[in-house]
Amino acid sequence: MKSAYSVDVDEVRLNSTAGPSHSVAELTASCSTPFWLMNLDHVRARARRLKSALASLPVKIHYAVKANDHARVLSSLAAEGVGADVVSAGEAQLALAAGLEARHIIFSGVAKTRHELNFAFHSGLKQINVESLEELERIESMALEQSSQLRSPIALGLRLNPNVCPETHPYITTGFRENKFGMDEPAIREAVARLARSAAPLQLRGLSVHIGSQLLDLQAVDEALGISLRLQQQLRDQTSASAHMLWDRFDAGGGLGIRYDSEDETEETALIDDFAAHLGRHTQPLLQDGRLREIMIEPGRWLVARAGLLITEVQYVKRTPMKDFVIVDAGMNLLLRPTLYEAHHRISPLRVGAEQARQSFDVVGPICESSDFFARDRELPTPKAGDRLAIFDSGAYGRTMSSDYNRRGPAGEFFFADGQITG
């Protein structure tokens, strides 16, 4: 698979899956900075790659909308047959407005309000993933109250917290016992017992598990899949078959990472094949006896991160006795990841002159905080005011985490599809 963009000797180029590559500087010459550029060809190619890696399993992909919720991104993925994983009624409404069908939307998240649950009940979402016994109690009492108005039973998943600790930034692990997410095994057992005796119009479909994000080493994923699928099999065997204890689905969550330090996408593409192998091995016993019918996954970053650039213009190159700064017109308000997780994003001028000497800089934004940086001590071809820089791999958790702090206004958004740029 082609990389979304490549840094050639003298410029950044956008690679199209269908046609020739394009100079990003030329394609976007008339777009005012700062702006996001999404290569939608690449998003669709990723969805196809993921589907083909999982083709031997009954997998349905549900894109984690929080990674990038722009309608163009959602409809590109919907065109590839991808559903959605949402964590609020707001995200669900965006997905529906972009043309996704409610029956392909999973509702996750720890703090679903009554209003949001009502919305989920009546819009026919595919499944609600329950994160706590307290939430189950709320869902049960609401479903009982409304049983006469509900057209069909509400499909539930139970989110297991498998107590594994993947290698990633501590802010984005979710499957460790100290995290707020999911239920430990005793709580899951209690939830199952409660559902088994409930008279509410609820339907248990299976467990769900999501242990964290930006995972490149699949050891903890393997462990978590083993734990949750063994538990699903046990619980299924212990509960007598009934119309509301179906155990026909398993939700393996998202979390697949990308190599932010490299333009080369080979490693993360191969990761998908490993993931498919783990998923196949752990689900095999349940698939074989025919009760498990559907495996759901919820990738976000892997599908969209590479497709996005944040393009910004150098305002000043400020020299001080201690450090030299490249000050640009995009800030932490747009792309928070370096500030929040000390995340690395590659940066390159859109055009590089042969004579440009390389030097170490802090690349910083206009926001009135010293936490407003994109890179520290980064070696770059020495830029000048007016040059444009690309901040790579910004397609996931960029615009969705942005704010209007310091009131600089939103960034522009442009999309590449079918050989052309549109706004």
Catalytic residue IDs: 368
**Helix, strand, coil tally for the chain in percent (to 5):** 30, 25, 40
Residue 402, sorted as left (phi over 0), alpha (psi -120 to 50) or beta, turns out to be beta
Interface pick for ligand LLP out of 16, 132, 161, 214 (rule CB under 6 A): 214
From 107, 108, 202, select the one nearest 154 (Cα to Cα): 202
> Which range touches ligand LLP (CB under 6 A), out of 2-10, 183-191, 206-214, 322-330?
206-214
Residue number, 121 or 397, with CB nearest to ligand LLP: 397
Residue number, 175 or 201, with CB nearest to ligand LLP: 175
Min CB(291)–ligand LLP separation in Å: 24
End-to-end distance of the chain based on CA atoms, in angstroms? 26
Please give the Cα distance from 161 to 54 (Å, whole number): 24
From 124, 131, 136, select the one nearest 100 (Cα to Cα): 124
Q: Name which of residues 304 to 323 contact ligand LLP (CB under 6 A).
A: none
Interface pick for ligand LLP out of 162, 166, 175, 299 (rule CB under 6 A): 299
Question: Is-contact 274 225, C-beta < 8 A?
Answer: no
Please report whether residue 76 would count as binding ligand LLP according to CB under 6 A: no
Q: DSSP string of 376-388?
A: EEEEEE---TT-E
Local structure of 79: helix, strand or coil = helix
Please give the Cα distance from 139 to 304 (Å, whole number): 33
Residue number, 202 or 221, with CB nearest to ligand LLP: 221
Write each residue from 98 to 137 as x if it is in contact with ligand LLP (CB under 6 A), else as -, in one continuous string.
----------x-----------------------------
Interface pick for ligand LLP out of 69, 85, 91, 140 (rule CB under 6 A): 85
Residue number, 166 or 365, with CB nearest to ligand LLP: 166
Residue number, 249 or 337, with CB nearest to ligand LLP: 337
- From residue 348, give the alpha-carbon distance in Å to each of 58, 131, 381: 41, 42, 8
Q: Name which of residues 154 to 183 contact ligand LLP (CB under 6 A).
A: 172
Token pair belonging to 272:
């998908």
Write each residue from 228 to 267 as x if it is in contact with ligand LLP (CB under 6 A), else as -, in one continuous string.
-------------------------xxxx-----------
> Which range touches ligand LLP (CB under 6 A), out of 34-42, 119-127, 293-301, 320-328?
293-301
From 162, 206, 156, select the one nearest 183 (Cα to Cα): 162
Q: Name which of residues 364 to 423 contact ligand LLP (CB under 6 A).
A: 397, 401
> Which range touches ligand LLP (CB under 6 A), out of 136-144, 280-288, 299-307, 327-335?
299-307
Residue 362 pairs with which residues in a beta bridge?
325
From 345, 395, 351, select the one nearest 39 (Cα to Cα): 395
Residue number, 27 or 401, with CB nearest to ligand LLP: 401
Interface pick for ligand LLP out of 83, 300, 308, 365 (rule CB under 6 A): 300
Interface pick for ligand LLP out of 46, 337, 388, 399 (rule CB under 6 A): 337
- Site size for ligand LLP, by CB under 6 A? 21
Residues 6+ apart with CB under 8 A from 81: 47, 51, 61
Please give the Cα distance from 263 to 259 (Å, whole number): 8
Question: Is-contact 40 76, C-beta < 8 A?
Answer: yes
Residue number, 361 or 397, with CB nearest to ligand LLP: 397
Residue number, 272 or 314, with CB nearest to ligand LLP: 272
Min CB(109)–ligand LLP separation in Å: 7
Interface pick for ligand LLP out of 4, 14, 59, 67 (rule CB under 6 A): 67
Residue 85 pairs with which residues in a beta bridge?
64, 106
Interface pick for ligand LLP out of 301, 306, 388, 399 (rule CB under 6 A): 301
What sign does the dihedral 26-414-364-376 (CA atoms) show? negative
Please give the Cα distance from 75 to 86 (Å, whole number): 15
Local structure of 102: helix, strand or coil = helix
Residues near ligand LLP (CB under 6 A): 64, 67, 85, 108, 172, 210, 213-214, 253-256, 298-302, 337, 341, 397, 401
